[in-house]
Amino acid sequence: MSEPRARAEELDSADELAGLRERFVLDDVVYLDGNSLGALPANVPGHLDDVVRRQWGELRIRSWDESGWWTAPERIGDRIGRLVGAAPGQIVVGDSTSVNVFKAVVGAVRLVKLTGEDRDEILVDATTFPTDGYIAESAARLTGHTLRPVAPHEVPDALGPRTAAVLLNHVDYRTGRLHDLPSLTSAIHAAGALAVWDLCHSAGALPVDLDAHGVDLAVGCTYKYLNGGPGSPAYLYVREEHQDRFDSPLPGWNSHTDPFGMSSGYEPAPGARRGRVGTPDILSMLALEAALEVWDGVSVDSVRTKSLALTDFFLECVSAYVPEGRVECVTPSAHAERGSQVALRCPEAGQIMKVLIERGVIGDLRHPDVLRFGFTPLYVGFGDVERAARVLGEVF
């Protein structure tokens, strides 16, 4: 037995989270694409069957009250809150990440405007996932602000008296680089601006601690490390101290203080409900709620510890199996700067990923030359990691 394989067996035998794998529907492939779409939690199909057959099929309209459909966005939001360090009443689930980014950025600009300060600039992460950049540009045009893209490490020097809000990604989707949320949020506040964070690649993989670090607004998807399913609804965090002044650019009947009063005038609801817009997507919403049950009894800190161990071990195995000089790791080696993925740059990355998938190792590609591997500690083991690196070496 090779030394990496023996080491994998040793690590798997000591893994306190190994039993969580049984909570998912998995086969014999090595699934390292949970940072794009999480695996299916085993309890979701049965729960959805009940939602469709009994709640919808038998109770029908009564389920808005009797099955708790109406309160699901806030109830599930509180459940996510426990994973991102947010006290109850600050997160609402619904809509897509893109829609929630729009709400958050415009809402942040409007909050700053209420202070009377003349701030007309929005900073955006220059390396962001494209949609965040598109939304930020649209928000800037609609609010009469200037948009300035800057790299996250340049933010402290770019801040100034004109800065109203800053939109940043907690983890870079291409490289897996983890940005310093506490210090960047502090710098943004010191400049008199508000911080908006995109948590798509960090929630469910590492501690975020929104409340502790004073984050103003945050958004995130639920289909990656939270395993909510394809197209599952996103969420919006509005810090409690901002909620009574949060002016959503998308007011809808669901966020009205009296939604069934059908008033022609809009009066926003209190608390996290202000982030709601229209009728919730109940089927996806309740699939997500069931999926979040896999977190019962699981500590985010323990998940982070395993995540770092998995990525460390993967890099060790890559060094052992892949011929020297064939790949370049673009993910930071320092734990403080690493999310839960490893990105390797190499020529012909597209063809290599195709072969990996054919051989049962599922990662993904970021054009033109990056192989991206996501490590979901709830169901990825050290044996998976060793096998993935070994197959990668054989491909070369």
Question: Annotated catalytic sites, by residue?
Answer: 129, 198, 223-224, 372
Q: Please answer whether residues 357 and 36 qualify as being in contact, where contact means their C-beta atoms are separated by less than 8 angstroms.
A: no
Question: Two tokens at 187?
Answer: 């710098």
Q: How far apart are CA 138 and CA 124, in angstroms?
A: 12
112's CB contacts (< 8 A; 6+ apart) are 119, 164, 165, 193, 194
| Sign of the CA dihedral running 195, 187, 89, 240 | negative
Q: Please answer whether residues 79 and 215 qualify as being in contact, where contact means their C-beta atoms are separated by less than 8 angstroms.
A: no
Of the candidates 185, 141, 142, 138, the residue with the CA atom closest to the CA atom of residue 165: 185
- Work out the burial of residue 260: count CB atoms within 10 Å of its CB; fewer than 13 is exposed, 13-18 middle, 19 or more buried: exposed
Of the candidates 25, 16, 374, the residue with the CA atom closest to the CA atom of residue 204: 374
Of the candidates 213, 265, 173, 252, the residue with the CA atom closest to the CA atom of residue 86: 213
Q: State the CB neighbour count (10 A cutoff) for residue 21.
A: 15
| Sign of the CA dihedral running 72, 202, 204, 318 | positive
Distances (CA, A) of 345 to 310, 348, 349: 19, 9, 7
| Beta strand spans in the chain (E) | 24-25, 30-31, 40-41, 91-93, 121-125, 146-150, 163-169, 194-198, 217-220, 235-238, 328-329, 341-345, 361-362, 364-366, 370-374
Q: How far apart are CA 184 and CA 191, in angstroms?
A: 11
Q: How far apart are CA 196 and CA 211, in angstroms?
A: 13
The single-letter DSSP state of residue 293 is G
Q: How far apart are CA 136 and CA 160, in angstroms?
A: 18
Q: How far apart are CA 15 and CA 41, in angstroms?
A: 20
